[in-house]
Chain A
Amino acid sequence: MAAEAPEDMTREQLLERLRTTEAALAEARQASVDGAFATELRQALIRMGASTQLAAPVATNDLLDLIVRTAAQVLSAQAASLFLIDRETNELVFEVALGESAAEARKFRVPLGQGIAGWVALSGQPVARSDVAQDARFAGGIAQRIGYVPKTVLCLPLRSGDDVIGVIELFDKANGQPFSADNMQVLEQFGAAAAVAIEQARLVRDLAQLFVVVLRGLLPGGSEEAALRQALETRAGAFTERAAQSQQYRDVLEITQLVSEISRQGPEARQHCRQLLASVAEYVRRVADRTSAGGGPS
């Protein structure tokens, strides 16, 4: 690679030139590696930023829809809804609405403290009510405007730690009976699952926002980012559909829910949980190592 040495160069000059050339070569090689790394890093960040931001809310919404739909089925409710609290406006916002008037219901927001959902959101206490249709104020509110006045309601808070983040509400049991304390207990389970899904989505959304901020710092021009984002949007959509339906996603959710429940029991329980999970992870790693070494689990 080095040029042929001119006749009049001394041995020292020749050696010096060789060293310079080698240094330049090494520098060029490193620059190339750095450049490839920078590109990969940049693309990875964009991918993570775009896919999490796009995928999470959609996947969560599907999951919440699934949770509310299953709860309504299990408890034979004619309609159901899930609200989240908008802390900016102190209102409840429909996240999921199922039933004949669902589309109409979605258009409304409920001020905190109003109606059963507002009462539950503020008090944090679950309630069932069995004489709703007799209440002129209830009928005169959202219920009448959307053309659906329920007779019975079961409503529970969704909690993130000690904070209420929303409510889940079922309307009208199929047999016309009031919702029971047992129904309340069953709905608690669905509410806990929904709260975990919402917590996770918020965490992912926060992370996505962080990545976007990082990206803005890394990328001087917007064109490359926009192009990559557009390309990734399509893939993220497909990923979202698969994620919501996959058994793996639900398994992971269940594990997360269990860990979350244990974590709330205090430091001792957390310590036990951590040790147990670490042991399982260690075992799984060993099995994986043996498998990859060709032995397979015995």
Chain B
Amino acid sequence: MKPAWHEPFTPEALRYEPNLPVLDEITPEWAWGGSTGRGVRVGIIDSGINADHPAVGGMVRGGVTVVEQGGTTSYDPSSYEDAFGHGTACAGIVHRVAPEAELYAVRVMGPSGGGTGAMFAAGLRWAIENGLQVLNLSLGTTKRDWFAALHDLADAAYFRNVVLVTAANNYPQVSFPSLYASVISVACSDEQDPLRFYYNPAPPVEFGAPGIEVPVAWEGGGYATMTGNSFAAPHITGIVALILAKHPGLAPFVVKTILRSTAWNARHRPTRPGSAADSGE
């Protein structure tokens, strides 16, 4: 059986990679201390957002629904209500980490099933071209047909300083855009502190964030305790929003360097070989 993407982040497997000494000055305090994500525009490319859910704290500022009809896609800005709750769950996690970040819903899934690759690509394009700064992609496609189109969009985002944060599939099969080098690919770790994440020196999945037993927004304004890679990516999305609010205009590669330097396992050593990291920053 192939190892799942979350395995590098288990206490037994976690590697402690020394940082470049000069980068040690990039601390979590420097990177996002005191930040609330204020003013940063975060896109949730998903099933929409239920703007009334207490988990998003009234921070939904707009959005769009991608509609596909007769082989062409169009945008409906009049509604982006969540089709079934997945997008609201992700948005709620971003809000918990970055409470003053502005949330935008880009709905690419409908009430009768997952969206097509075309809807996904169209939603991503809309988000890149409409001034959003961080995009949470807790979904992707396994169809190779979309490799090139999504790769172009990921490059377009990269060159426009739009940070793409993607969830890796739980099972290690190819999935786009989570396996592109230009994105921040995230799998789940068994960690409860929303601001503690790990760096994996063996890509394609570079970061591990809380995704096990996470409280997420659920139907009827409630919450559920869930496990899944879908919930790890929004933690990193939230942290990127915190960083960008404190340090506006950073390019995606700088953001990734900051994440690598502030990852828990880059700043801590195990108390004994093979054991989990000691506590205390």
Contact = CB atoms under 8 A, between A and B. Distances in A.
Nearest to B1: A189
B228 A128 contact: yes
Interface residues of B, number: 41
Q: Is the interface of B mostly helix, strand, loop or mixed?
A: loop
Interface string B122-143: 0000000000000000110111
Contacts of A192: 171
A127 B109 contact: no
Interface stretch (A11-19, A40-48, A118-126): A118-126
B230 A125 contact: yes
A159 B174 CA distance: 14
Contacts of B229: 125-126
Interface in B225-245: 225-230
B227 A135 contact: no
Contact of B83 (A113, A121, A128, A137): A113
A296 interface: no
Contacts of B142: 159, 161-162, 264
A129 B143 contact: no
Contacts of B139: 123-125
Contacts of A21: none
Interface residues of A, number: 39
Contact of A123 (B1, B114, B117, B222): B114
What 10 pairs between A and B have smallest CB-CB spacing?
A113-B84, A128-B227, A185-B4, A127-B228, A123-B86, A131-B225, A188-B171, A125-B230, A162-B143, A181-B6
20 contacts: A85-B113, A90-B111, A113-B111, A119-B86, A123-B139, A123-B230, A127-B228, A128-B227, A128-B228, A129-B224, A130-B227, A132-B224, A162-B117, A178-B227, A181-B6, A184-B4, A185-B6, A185-B171, A188-B170, A266-B144
Interface of B: 1, 4, 6, 47, 83-86, 109, 111-114, 117, 138-139, 141-144, 167, 170-171, 173-174, 188, 190, 211-213, 218-220, 222, 224-230
Interface of A: 85, 90, 112-113, 118-119, 121-132, 135, 137, 159, 161-164, 178-182, 184-186, 188-189, 192, 264-266
